[in-house]
């Protein structure tokens, strides 16, 4: 972060302190809220405004890359406004996954967030081009209110990122300028060598200051979709945080030990046979067909084996299926009076505890409350937690 110091759209680090347990970073205060929240609050939103935001986002990417830094976790929540003023500066935060790179160097560790991760990251052979892909996904959402690649599960999202078609037929795309669509297409090219680099994106006519982006309001449906996408994401974050606190350090450490135990030849990769034997050893009651499906789902790079990162993801998925008590505990956290339902007031209290007082509760309740009785029961809560976070079918 010291490397990026001085850039107007990168959060500055004020100081750092270390105690026996951790290093504490003191960062510049950004009190103006997240990117999507500001758009929702404005109510008036045009293609030109989306182009202005795109210019800032890709400008940060270009600055990072020129200094030999790739961010690797670009997503809307990592862009904050400094204050609530109309013309507030926007800042990029969370460089926790960023890395220095040398020209031509490739990386293999799978990092990032499902909707925004580039296909080459999933294939474990990537460089700084992955940031341009993530920025392209953000621009797609800024223009339409929905992610370009989605599914009901995280694994399904990854498959769509690798193979799915870009949708420019559904609303509001027919009314969006051809120039905007051209830019998004060229940023979301799966071959990183054919993808635009950050400087080329900034030279595109749609992104440029006084460029061709029209100043007419975007379809109102875009704002309502952004509201839903942002609100659902926040509620799931609270629930996942509650569940993470339930998981003990022993359980997390146990995954590392389990991997070592299953990987009998210490190759750093687990074969299907090793996985079957290992799961039997730890007493997991899983059918052969389920193990095959688990192996297929976990093996993101289709190598025929799973490495440690893939194993942890698979075990957490299996754990989620087997440990319904974690879901119950998270539900009970919200359902303070033990009525079997989460009311709007209870949801408001939970949001307040986690500093999410600006969350749009009405939209959130409407999305999760499938039977429209004004409260969330356990089955509705579980459905939300197992969903990818956006029911696109309901909005097409």
* The predicted structure's pLDDT at residue 389: 44
77 token code pair: 């929540």
Instruction: Specify whether 259 is located in the same domain as 362.
Output: yes
CATH number assigned to the domain comprising residue 122: 1.10.510.10
Instruction: Specify whether 242 is located in the same domain as 210.
Output: no
Instruction: Specify whether 163 is located in the same domain as 136.
Output: yes
Buried b (16+ CB within 10 A) or exposed e, 352-382: eeeebeebbbebbbebbbeeeeebbbbebbe
- Of residues 37, 73, 219, 263, which has the active-site annotation? 73
Beta strands in 276-380 (DSSP E): 341-342, 376-377
CATH number assigned to the domain comprising residue 367: 1.10.238.10
* 109 assigned to active site: no
d(CA 150, CA 159): 9
d(CA 158, CA 298): 11
Instruction: Specify whether 145 is located in the same domain as 32.
Output: yes
Which structural domain range is residue 231 located in? 220-396
d(CA 139, CA 137): 5
Cis amide prior to 172 (ω within 30 degrees): yes
Distances (CA, A) of 211 to 39, 174, 203, 253: 21, 20, 10, 53
d(CA 11, CA 29): 8
- Select from 218, 234, 251 the last residue of a domain: 218
Instruction: Specify whether 34 is located in the same domain as 47.
Output: yes
* Angle 226-52-233 from CA coordinates, rounded to 5°: 25
Phi, psi for residue 227 in degrees, rounded to 5: -60, -50
- Select from 169, 194, 218 the last residue of a domain: 218
Residues in the chain: 396
Instruction: Specify whether 30 is located in the same domain as 83.
Output: yes
SS3 110: coil
Instruction: Specify whether 224 is located in the same domain as 121.
Output: no
Name the domain count of the chain: 2
Taking the chain (396 residues) in runs of 10, the rounded mean pLDDT of each run is 78 89 88 85 82 96 95 92 91 90 92 91 96 97 90 84 94 93 98 97 96 86 72 69 59 69 84 81 66 68 72 57 68 90 88 66 77 89 65 38
Instruction: Specify whether 196 is located in the same domain as 228.
Output: no
- Select from 175, 199, 218 the last residue of a domain: 218
């Amino acid at each position: 972060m010291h490397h990026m110091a001085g850039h107007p759209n990168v959060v500055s680090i004020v100081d750092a302190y270390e105690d026996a347990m951790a290093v504490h970073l003191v960062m510049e205060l950004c009190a103006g809220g997240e990117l999507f929240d500001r758009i929702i609050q404005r109510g008036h939103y045009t293609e030109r405004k989306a182009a202005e935001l795109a210019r800032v986002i890709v400008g940060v990417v270009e600055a990072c890359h020129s200094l030999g830094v790739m961010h690797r976790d670009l997503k809307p929540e990592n862009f904050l406004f400094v204050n609530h003023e109309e013309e507030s500066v926007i800042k990029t935060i969370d460089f926790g996954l960023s890395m220095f790179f040398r020209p031509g160097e490739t990386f293999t560790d799978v990092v990032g967030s499902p909707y925004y991760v580039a296909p080459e990251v999933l294939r474990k052979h990537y460089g700084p081009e992955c940031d341009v892909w993530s920025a392209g996904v953000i621009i797609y959402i800024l223009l339409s209110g929905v992610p370009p690649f989605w599914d009901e599960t995280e694994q399904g999202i990854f498959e769509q990122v690798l193979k799915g078609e870009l949708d420019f037929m559904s609303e509001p795309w027919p009314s969006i300028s051809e120039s905007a669509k051209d830019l998004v297409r060229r940023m979301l090219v799966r071959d990183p060598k054919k993808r635009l680099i950050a400087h080329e994106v900034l030279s595109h006519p749609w992104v440029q200051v006084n460029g061709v982006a029209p100043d007419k309001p975007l379809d109102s449906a875009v704002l309502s979709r952004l509201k839903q996408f942002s609100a659902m994401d926040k509620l799931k974050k609270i629930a996942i945080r509650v569940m993470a606190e339930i998981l003990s350090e022993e359980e997390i450490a146990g995954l590392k030990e389990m991997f070592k135990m299953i990987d009998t030849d210490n190759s750093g990769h687990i074969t299907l046979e090793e996985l079957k034997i290992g799961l039997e050893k730890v007493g997991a009651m899983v059918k052969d067909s389920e193990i095959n499906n688990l192996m297929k789902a976990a093996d993101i790079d289709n190598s025929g084996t799973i490495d440690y990162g893939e194993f942890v993801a698979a075990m957490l998925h299996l754990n989620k299926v087997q440990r319904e008590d974690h879901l119950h505990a998270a539900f009970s956290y919200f359902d303070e009076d033990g009525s079997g339902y989460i009311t709007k007031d209870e949801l408001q209290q939970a949001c307040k505890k986690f500093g999410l007082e600006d969350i749009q509760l009405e939209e959130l309740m409407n999305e999760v409350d499938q039977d429209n009785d004004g409260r969330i029961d356990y089955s509705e809560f579980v459905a939300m937690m197992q969903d990818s976070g956006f029911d696109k079918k309901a909005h097409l």
